[in-house]
């Protein structure tokens, strides 16, 4: 039973403002994923919660108690590090038991907890090994085990899967999710991997330059990105952006490239001719519809689908990516249509999403 509340958290290192303003609240048992480009302050945020750094301003509350000034060991929080941070000279058992010994648990209690965690993680046969005798995936499990045996109020994960190969990552991703659900421990999970961001969390926080750009469920973030940064960051290949202006009293947008597209979800407020950015995901472009002509630069067959990289014929037009099922037509230019029901409308000045009526 633990809730986490961050209020007005800021962190400055010398002259660089790394975290500008973070307000966040996690309900009991929730898994919140924080995603953002490298260097946007994700690790710093986790380290503030863990107590490894002190915030410049703001408070951290765990279960209603203000823990902002507490030492990491007094916070009842466990962390899984990116490079595992296992003690190289300890056996797997000792790695897991170390924190419990320091907390003065009895030998029997330690044994019971480590055995339970090891069984849960499939580490039963490896307890006497040293970390260097383990594979990457096994080390990762030991790092998880070390967090689990503590039975903390809060788990922190800092890109725990980024050092694993792709196949193992998929496997461990599912395992982390299963374990977290089963143990019901409130968790903060940091990643820069989109798939982890989409699949792991109950909610997703997209961070951009030390600020929260959007906080919502993963599907909401995907379907209604709050701004162009979130829109380009979530989803692969990234969303295409086309410059346009508002027309027909807010009922449609005219692309700089020519065609006018009517909004299917209602008119947008704003003066005629207002500068917009239209977003459309690569999978929401239809080949064969003569709305736009796209010059093809490169074709990437991925097996079940194909990516077509191209650009509009106007000078200086941004690159476009189109995702089609099966094979792509082999030609230098293709006709491409926009599926209007999947259109995202952004204010070009601010980059913010323009919802119908707004």
Partner 1 sequence: MNRKPDYLTHAVLALGVVLFALPVWLVLAGSTQESEAITRGDLSLIPHLSGLPRYWQVLTEGTRGAEPVWHMLAISSAMALCIALGKITISILSAYAVVFFRFPLRKLAFWSIFVTLMLPVEVRIIPTYSVMAQFGLINTFTGLWVPLIASATATLLFRQVFVAIPDELVEAARMDGAGPLRFLRDIVIPVSGANIAALFVILFVYGWNQYLWPLLVATDPSLDTIVIGLVKMIGIDSDTDWAAVMATAVMALLPPVAVVVLMQRWFVAGLTEGEK
Identify the CA nearest to 188 among candidates 14, 22, 26: 26
Task: Confirm or reject binding of residue 268 to ligand ADP (CB under 6 A).
Answer: no
For the chain, strand residue ranges (E) read 4-13, 16-26, 31-36, 57-62, 65-66, 77-80, 154-158, 186-191, 203-208, 211-216, 240-247, 252-255, 260-262, 275-280, 285-301, 305-311, 319-325, 333-338, 344-347
Q: From edge to edge, which strands make up the β-sheet containing 333-338?
A: 319-325, 305-311, 285-301, 333-338
* Residues making up the chain, counted from first to last: 358
Task: Confirm or reject binding of residue 191 to ligand ADP (CB under 6 A).
Answer: no
What letter does residue 51 receive in the DSSP assignment?
T
Minimum distance from CB of 72 to partner 1 (Å)?
A: 5
The entry of Mg ion, ligand ADP, partner 1, none that residue 176 binds, CB within 5 to 8 Å by partner kind: none
Task: Confirm or reject binding of residue 40 to ligand ADP (CB under 6 A).
Answer: yes
Minimum distance from CB of 5 to partner 1 (Å)?
A: 20
Distance (Å) of CA 349 to CA 183, 267, 277, 318, 354: 46, 19, 9, 17, 11
Q: Which of 3, 7, 56, 82 binds partner 1 (CB under 8 A)?
A: 82
Q: Which of 30, 42, 141, 227 binds ligand ADP (CB under 6 A)?
A: 42
Task: Confirm or reject binding of residue 44 to ligand ADP (CB under 6 A).
Answer: yes
Per-residue contact flags (x/-) with partner 1 for residues 10 to 49, judged by CB under 8 A: -------------------------------------x--
Q: Output 43 or 68, the one with its CB closest to Mg ion.
A: 43
Binding positions for partner 1, 142-181, rule CB under 8 A: 146
Rounded to the nearest 10 degrees, the angle between the axes of helix 92-102 and helix 136-149 is 20
Task: Confirm or reject binding of residue 89 to partner 1 (CB under 8 A).
Answer: yes
Task: Confirm or reject binding of residue 152 to ligand ADP (CB under 6 A).
Answer: no
Task: Confirm or reject binding of residue 187 to Mg ion (CB under 5 A).
Answer: no
Give CA–CA dist 206/235, Å, rounded. 12
Minimum distance from CB of 50 to ligand ADP (Å)?
A: 12
- The first and second tokens of residue 265, run together, are 């979800």
Q: Which residues bind partner 1 (CB under 8 A)?
A: 47, 50, 52, 71-73, 77-79, 81-89, 98-99, 102-103, 131-132, 146
Footprint of ligand ADP (CB under 6 A) = 13, 18, 36, 38-44
């Amino acid at each position: 039973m633990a809730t986490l509340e961050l209020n007005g958290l800021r962190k400055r290192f010398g002259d660089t403002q790394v975290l500008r303003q973070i307000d966040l609240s996690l309900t009991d048992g929730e898994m919140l994923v924080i995603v953002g480009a490298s260097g946007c302050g994700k690790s710093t945020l986790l380290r503030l919660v863990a107590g490894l750094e002190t915030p410049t301003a703001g408070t951290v509350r765990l279960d209603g108690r203000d823990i902002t000034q507490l030492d990491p060991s007094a916070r009842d929080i466990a962390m899984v590090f990116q490079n595992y941070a296992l003690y190289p000279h300890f056996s797997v058992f000792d790695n897991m038991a170390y924190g419990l010994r320091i907390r003065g648990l009895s030998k029997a209690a330690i044994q019971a907890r480590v055995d339970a965690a090891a069984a849960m993680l499939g580490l039963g046969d490896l307890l006497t090994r040293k970390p260097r005798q383990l594979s990457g995936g096994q080390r990762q499990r030991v790092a998880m085990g070390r967090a689990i045996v503590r039975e903390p109020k809060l788990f922190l994960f800092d890109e725990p899967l980024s050092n694993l190969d792709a196949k193992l990552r998929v496997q461990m991703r599912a395992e982390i999710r299963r374990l977290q659900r089963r143990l019901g421990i409130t968790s903060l999970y940091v990643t820069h991997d989109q798939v982890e961001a989409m699949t792991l969390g109950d909610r997703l926080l997209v961070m951009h330059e030390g600020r929260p750009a959007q906080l919502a469920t993963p599907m909401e973030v995907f379907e209604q990105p709050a701004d162009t940064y979130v829109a380009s960051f979530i989803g692969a290949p990234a969303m295409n952006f086309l410059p346009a202006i508002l027309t027909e009293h807010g009922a449609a947008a005219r692309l700089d490239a020519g065609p006018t597209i009517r909004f299917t979800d209602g008119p947008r407020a704003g003066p005629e001719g207002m500068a917009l950015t239209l977003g459309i995901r690569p999978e929401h472009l239809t080949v064969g519809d003569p709305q736009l002509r796209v010059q093809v630069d490169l074709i990437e067959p991925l097996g079940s689908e194909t990516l077509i990289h191209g650009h509009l014929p106007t000078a200086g037009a941004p690159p476009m990516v189109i995702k089609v099922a099966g094979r792509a037509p082999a030609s230098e230019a293709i006709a491409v249509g926009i599926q209007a029901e999947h259109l995202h409308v952004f204010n070009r000045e601010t980059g913010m999403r323009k919802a119908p009526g707004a």
